[in-house]
């Protein structure tokens, strides 16, 4: 069910879904305004059935979107935690490398000092 909620959240927040709802609304309102009176099933100006169906869609989608957002937040938190662990490991490795380089630098300076001392003798 959580995967369905995430799928709905991702797709409802798309331009494709917006275009479907916009097209459905425009077609519904145009038909019930411009069609012959005997063919209109939700006559102007009330559009009662359209309002009812639109509200039902909103009422049903709202909690599904919230569940999907909660699931996306859980996954984002898990990714952030994994990234944090990787960054901590990388920091330790960088500290080790820096320490090694500092030791090498000190050793090179000792060797240079020794060579300079031998050269001066």
Half-sphere exposure of 4 (CA within 13 A, CB side): 4
Model confidence pLDDT, tens digit, residues 38-89: 999 998 888 899 999 999 999 998 888 888 888 899 999 999 999 999 999 9
Predicted TM-score (pTM) of the model is 0.58
Give me the helices (H) in the chain, please. 2-12, 15-34, 48-120
Model confidence pLDDT, tens digit, residues 71-84: 899 999 999 999 99
- The torsion region of residue 47 among left (phi > 0), alpha (psi -120 to 50) and beta comes to left
Q: Say how far apart CA 119 and CA 109 lie, in whole Å.
A: 15
- pLDDT value at residue 87: 97
Query: Closest Cα to residue 55, out of 25, 33, 31?
Result: 25
Task: Give the pair of three-digit tokens for residue 74.
Answer: 């859980």
């Amino acid at each position: 069910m959580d995967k369905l909620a995430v799928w709905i959240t991702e797709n409802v927040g798309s331009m494709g879904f917006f275009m479907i709802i916009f097209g459905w609304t425009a077609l519904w309102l145009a038909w019930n305004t411009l069609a012959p009176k005997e063919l209109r099933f939700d006559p102007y100006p009330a559009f009662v059935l359209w309002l009812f169906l639109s509200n039902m869609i909103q009422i049903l989608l709202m909690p599904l979107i919230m569940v999907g957002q909660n699931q996306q937040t859980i996954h984002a938190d898990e990714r952030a935690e994994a990234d944090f662990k990787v960054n901590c490991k990388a920091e330790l490795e960088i500290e080790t490398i820096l320490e090694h380089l500092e030791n090498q630098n000190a050793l090179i300076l000792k060797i240079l000092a020794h060579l300079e001392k031998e050269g001066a003798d």
